[in-house]
């Protein structure tokens, strides 16, 4: 089972990116729910109860592991991909049933508060030793509804053989010489968060005067961008982008697909670094929760952790396989490292509510239509 008594370790593509409002009641999954707390606590066995239908970012699990799981349990894995957290929420709100989803921490919190995630019996999971920080994650009391998947940091990826003038600042996205081949993530949180950090504000600032300045900054930057895109890996490997606003693990994935991996770098920016984590979660309307639990356990096997980390490029917060594999990846390139200490001390996106959330929606909409 998950060992929760360990010492600390020294750790989208496309879419409009607009925030999702109040969820619909009924069979769909929404912000406010439509299910009862009792429904989330309904027990289920860790066994094959059907094929696995899972909903994840593209290229965010080693495909060889999916094939291995299919062969091991005699099931099919039906994969669907989302390109942003709001896009994921929209599908869930529409009532589409998935057995396993991968929400970020703040979206997991939102789903939990709406009674939309099944309680997971961690005692049924074996073979993984999670770092102590995830014993009581801020987004999920007692880690009752989620299992940690990966950790990430946001920065700038760039072609060192093509780009001049990288200075360590977020402003390099449009200030360095990339011959106009620069893309911002098509993600309202990452875009506004970056703007807030450039202006010296808190990542999650909802002060209207500060958001107005961030909006104006982002509009000014927009004129120098080739566009907005969360198809980061394709953009960089194809040469469509020479600078791309992206996540640290994307650079590892990119390097795995190109002839000259040494040319692709990752820059953590001086004004601040958004950090966060993604989770495994089982929706309350999952038709095959037993198979989903089997898949989580399979992914947490130390050997599978290591294979997954080496393929996706993101650390998983577990001792042994995942930690050792990621240490090897970052040994020669500490810029792509992210640790549980970074999560504890860095700025993470919050689950903004009410007028603060609506203010972020307005800012992003006005930036995109400017």
CA distance 206 to 329: 37
* pLDDT for position 21: 35
> β-pairing, 264-267 with 146-159?
antiparallel
Give residue 127's pLDDT.
Answer: 65
User: What pLDDT, on a 0 to 100 scale, did the predictor assign at position 26?
Assistant: 37
Listed as ranges, residues in the chain with pLDDT below 70 are: 1-34, 127
Q: Specify whether the CB–CB gap between 183 and 229 falls below 8 A.
A: yes
Count other C-beta atoms under 10 Å from residue 123's C-beta. Answer: 8
pTM for the full model? Answer: 0.85
Indicate the burial class of 99 (C-beta count within 10 angstroms; 0-12, 13-18, 19 or more): buried
Closest by CA to 218, choosing from 243, 167, 184, 178, is 184
d(CA 325, CA 106): 27
User: Using an 8 Å Cβ cutoff, are 30 and 36 in contact?
Assistant: no
What was the pLDDT predicted at 267?
A: 96
The reported pLDDT for the residue numbered 365 is 97
Dist. CA 161–CA 128, nearest whole Å: 40
Report the alpha-carbon distance of residue 315 to residue 324 in Å, rounded. 10
Query: 326 in helix, strand or coil?
Result: helix
Asked whether the beta carbons of 241 and 183 are under 8 A apart, the reply is: yes
CB atoms under 10 Å from CB of 179, counted, come to 11
Other Cβ atoms less than 10 A from the Cβ of 66: the count is 18
Handedness of CA 294, 150, 350, 353 (dihedral sign): negative
Instruction: Assign 78 to helix, strand or coil.
Output: strand
As a whole number of angstroms, the distance between CA 264 and CA 232 comes to 12
CA dihedral 257, 259, 261, 267 (to 10 degrees): -80
**Residue corresponding to tokens 């709001």:** 86
- Per residue, the 3-state secondary structure of 248-296, as one string, reads HHHHHHHHCCCCCHHHEEEECCCCCCEEEEEEEECECCCCCHHHHHHHH
What is the reported pLDDT for 73? 98
Considering the domain 37-152+277-336 in this protein, what is its CATH number?
Answer: 3.40.190.10
Domain ranges (residues) in the chain: 37-152+277-336, 153-274+350-369
Considering Cα of 199, then 201, then 206, then 207, what sign does the dihedral take? negative
Classified as helix, coil or strand, 162 is coil
Tokens of 99: 């057995």
Query: Which class in CATH covers the domain with range 153-274+350-369?
Result: alpha beta
Residue 162 tokens read as: 């093509």
Domains 37-152+277-336 and 153-274+350-369 share a fold: yes
Q: Name residue 228's beta-bridge partners.
A: 184
Cβ–Cβ < 8 Å for 98, 283: yes
Query: Cα–Cα distance between 25 and 8 in angstroms, integer?
Result: 41
């Amino acid at each position: 089972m998950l060992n929760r008594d360990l010492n600390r370790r020294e750790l989208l593509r496309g879419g409009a990116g607009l925030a999702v409002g109040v969820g619909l009641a009924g069979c769909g999954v929404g912000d406010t729910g439509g299910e009862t707390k009792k429904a989330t606590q309904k027990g289920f066995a860790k066994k094959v109860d059907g094929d696995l239908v899972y909903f994840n970012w593209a290229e965010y699990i080693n495909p060889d592991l999916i094939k291995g799981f299919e062969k091991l349990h005699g099931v099919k894995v039906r994969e669907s991909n989302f390109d942003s957290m709001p896009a994921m929420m929209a599908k869930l709100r529409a009532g589409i049933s998935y057995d396993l989803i991968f929400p970020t921490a703040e979206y997991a919190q939102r789903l939990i508060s709406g009674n939309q995630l099944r309680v997971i019996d961690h005692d049924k999971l074996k073979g993984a030793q999670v770092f102590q920080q995830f014993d009581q994650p801020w987004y999920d009391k007692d880690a009752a509804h989620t299992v940690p998947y990966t950790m990430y940091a946001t920065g700038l990826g760039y072609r060192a053989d093509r780009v001049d003038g990288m200075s360590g600042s977020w402003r390099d996205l449009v200030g360095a010489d990339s011959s106009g081949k620069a893309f911002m993530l098509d993600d309202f949180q990452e875009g506004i968060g970056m703007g807030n950090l450039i202006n010296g504000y808190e990542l999650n600032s909802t002060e209207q005067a500060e958001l107005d300045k961030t909006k104006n900054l982002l509009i000014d930057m927009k004129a120098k961008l080739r566009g907005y895109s969360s198809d980061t890996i394709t953009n960089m490997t194809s040469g469509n982008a020479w600078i791309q606003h992206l996540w640290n693990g994307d650079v590892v994935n990119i390097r795995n697909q190109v002839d000259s991996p040494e040319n692709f770098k990752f820059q953590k920016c001086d004004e601040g670094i958004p950090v966060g984590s993604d989770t495994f979660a089982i929706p309350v309307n999952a038709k095959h929760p037993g198979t989903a639990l089997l898949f989580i356990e399979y992914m947490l096997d130390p050997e599978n952790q290591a294979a997954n980390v080496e393929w996706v490029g993101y650390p998983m917060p577990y001792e042994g396989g995942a930690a050792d594999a990621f240490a090897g990846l970052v040994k020669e390139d500490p810029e792509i490292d992210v640790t549980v200490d970074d999560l504890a001390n860095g700025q993470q996106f919050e689950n903004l509510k009410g007028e603060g959330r609506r203010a972020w929606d307005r800012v992003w909409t006005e930036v995109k239509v400017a």
